[in-house]
Amino acid sequence: MRLIFLGPPGSGKGTQAALLEQRHGLCQISTGDILRQAVADGTPLGREAKACMDKGALVPDRVVIGIVEEKLKGRECEKGFVLDGFPRTTGQAEALDAIMRDFPAPQAHRIDRVVAFQVDEGALVTRLSGRRTCGECQAMYHLTLSPPRVEGVCDRCGGRLVQRNDDREEVIRERLAVYEESTRPLLEFYGGRGQLIRLPAVGPVEDVHAALKAAVGL
């Protein structure tokens, strides 16, 4: 199964994509995670992306399109994938169409469903300002909504939990504005093709997971 997750920052795309990877073997392709890793590694890609990310702006289309194209061609995507945080602009969505068209016929990649995560803005700000991520394995927590067993320590690998640079309130507001301007138009882009499913993504993580699976037919 090939899925796109659309939705504002903090709507739970990464949390749900990780569950689909763990439980259903779908490859999670998170452009945000890939870019953050590049920043941490100090690669040329990371150096180019960092300034945009720190202020809550989007990284240029050509940069992320190249990342996704390479990932989609990898063997780990053969069983299916979840695009988490891509596309985010109409230009990226059109480039994705072209990438799909170019795949050789036997493995021709077709997007099955586009899931639009829906969460109101107040809840998004609460989720993002309390989000903590494991610096080692990227597991996701929230200070109050899904805390680790031991404060500041990852349940899964014992790594230290960190707050993302862009999860400060002023940057959160900018990211939500960027979503409204650049990414929300994609709801119409995919809605017009009959591929869009709107998912109310509130309530416990496991309830959202169950609703998501029912919606996409997994």
Which residues are identified as catalytic?
A: 13, 88, 131, 164, 175
Q: Closer CB to ligand ADP, residue 45 or residue 199?
A: 199
Which position among 8, 16, 85, 208 is part of the footprint of ligand AMP (CB under 6 A)?
85
Instruction: Enumerate binding residues for ligand ADP (CB under 6 A).
Output: 7, 9-15, 127, 131, 140-142, 145-146, 205, 208
Contacts of 125 (CB under 8 A, 6+ apart): 10, 169, 172, 176
Give me the least distance between CB of 51 and ligand ADP, in Å please. 20
Cα-only R_g, the chain:
17
Q: Considering only residues 35, 96, 201, 208, which one is a binding residue for ligand AMP as defined by CB under 6 A?
A: 35
114 and 3 Cβ atoms separated by less than 8 Å = yes
Q: Which is nearer to ligand ADP, 13 or 109 (CB)?
A: 13
Tell me the C-alpha distance between 33 and 53, whole Å: 11
Which residue intervals of 73-217 are DSSP H helices? 90-102, 121-130, 169-178, 185-191, 205-216
Q: Which of residues 90-119 bind ligand AMP (CB under 6 A)?
A: 92
User: Considering beta carbons, is residue 52 or 140 the nearer one to ligand ADP?
Assistant: 140
Instruction: Please state the separation of Cα 204 from the chain's center in Å.
Output: 19
